[in-house]
Amino acid sequence: MDGVAKRHKRVLTVFAFLFILLLVFMVLDLAQAFIPLPFFDALQALFGYGSETNIIIVQKMNMPRVLMAILVGAGLGIAGAVMQAVFRNPMASPFILGLSSGAALGAAIGMSITISFIPMMLLVPLLAFISCMATLFLVYSISHVGGRVPTETLLLAGIAVGSFLSALVSLLTYLAGDQLQGIVYWTMGNMSNASWDNVLIVAPLMFAGCLLMLSCARDLNAMMLGDAHALDLGVEVKKVRLQLLIASALVTAAAVAFVGVIGFIGLVVPHILRIAMGPDNRALLPASIIGGAAFLLMCDYISRVIAPSIGVLPVGIITALIGAPYFIYLLRRRRSEVGWD
């Protein structure tokens, strides 16, 4: 009982910390401008007070970007936690099934063609989304052997398909030359062009995907013990796994469609939270939502302040610069120390 109460207290503390972190970085990121606004001026402008210029900057220009960062970070955070649980592999991430390569291929095709009735601003995210989902379908089909989908086969198929699609992107880039210069920046991730229209498209997809994943948290706990144990506990392993893969692919596709590939959120955030609050997915999944959002907000803020002489850096660079060293640290830690057992 004492141990349970202690664990509950720790979980609540982590949630409180994550919320505060989210709110602080939300205001800091809203305050970012050519000439950064003071923290409290940004807070005032958020509620419609202060100068007209500050209100335009905070509510019209920065708010879509900040909301997009929250949605994307939340989606990638929970997708990462789900992938790690489904594959029972601490190295898993939302892009492990080649989804990032699939999305990049769709974006590259969108940048090199024109369809008269679809504006370019919508064509690239649309094709990125479709391509991402198609990649999941392809990887799943390849892995489906004898009525079963072994996780190891799924992983390997994801790596193979991802490599193939990356090669196609490289080929397109080579053939198209200057026309596809933008794909390089797209693969680095960029929050700066988020608009209210983008937020309105992404939000429902994120909510739906996250809700579906949260509803499977208890089953996911069982699946982490192994398929056989999960089946014994009454979990429809194959069905739940497929649901979770589709939901995480949906969320990942929605995330990358408008902002490009932003890596390491789904890898790093669930791990840090697992160390802090344990592996129970009933707490870990919602915490990954908030943690992922806070982490991406923090990285977006850093990308805007770290190199003032250059300007705004692609946010994917910052997430990688923070995530990769942690990934190396992870490789040197034992599974039990990262809360896996």
Q: What are the residues binding another protein (CB under 8 A)? A: 32-35, 53, 56-57, 60-62, 120-121, 174, 177, 181-182, 184-186, 190, 192-193, 309-312
Of residues 31 and 245, the one with the C-beta less far from another protein: 31
Distance CA 334, CA 252 (A): 28
In terms of Cα–Cα distance, which of 255, 206, 237 is closest to 93? 255
Distance CA 256, CA 97 (A): 14
Give me the least distance between CB of 193 and another protein, in Å please: 6
CB 300, CB 65: distance < 8 Å: yes
Cα dihedral sign for 321, 323, 326, 327? negative
Residue closest to 315 by CA, chosen among 263, 269, 276: 263
Helix, strand, coil shares, percent, the chain, to 5:
75, 0, 20
CB of 220 to another protein, least distance (A): 36
Asked if 257 contacts 128 with a C-beta cutoff of 8 angstroms, the reply is yes
Distance CA 327, CA 269 (A): 11
Residue 254 or residue 330: which is nearer to another protein going by CB? 254
| Residues found in the chain | 341
Shortest approach of another protein to residue 325 CB, angstroms?
26
Which residue's CB is nearer to another protein, number 62 or number 135?
Answer: 62
| CB 337, min distance to another protein, A | 40
The type of residue at 4 is V
Shorter beta-carbon distance to another protein: residue 56 or 242: 56
What DSSP line would sit under 277-322, residue for residue?
H-S-HHHHHHHHHHHHHHHHHHHHHHHHHS-TTT-PPPHHHHHHHH
Burial class of residue 301 (count of CB atoms within 10 Å of its CB; 0-12, 13-18, 19+):
buried
Q: How far is the CB of 125 from another protein (least distance, A)?
A: 12
3-state DSSP assignment of residue 148 = strand
* DSSP track, 238-273: HHHHHHHHHHHHHHHHHHHHHH----SHHHHHHHHH
Q: How far is the CB of 309 from another protein (least distance, A)?
A: 6
Residue type, 229: H
178 vs 341, which CB is nearer to another protein?
Answer: 178
Q: What tokens were used for 100?
A: 């990032």
Nearer to another protein, 33 or 134 (CB): 33
Q: How far is the CB of 36 from another protein (least distance, A)?
A: 9
Kindly tell me which of 158 and 260 has the beta carbon lying closer to another protein: 260
How far apart CA 145 and CA 293 sit, in angstroms, is 37
Closer of 82 and 191 to another protein (Cβ): 191
Nearer CB in complex with another protein: 32/143 = 32
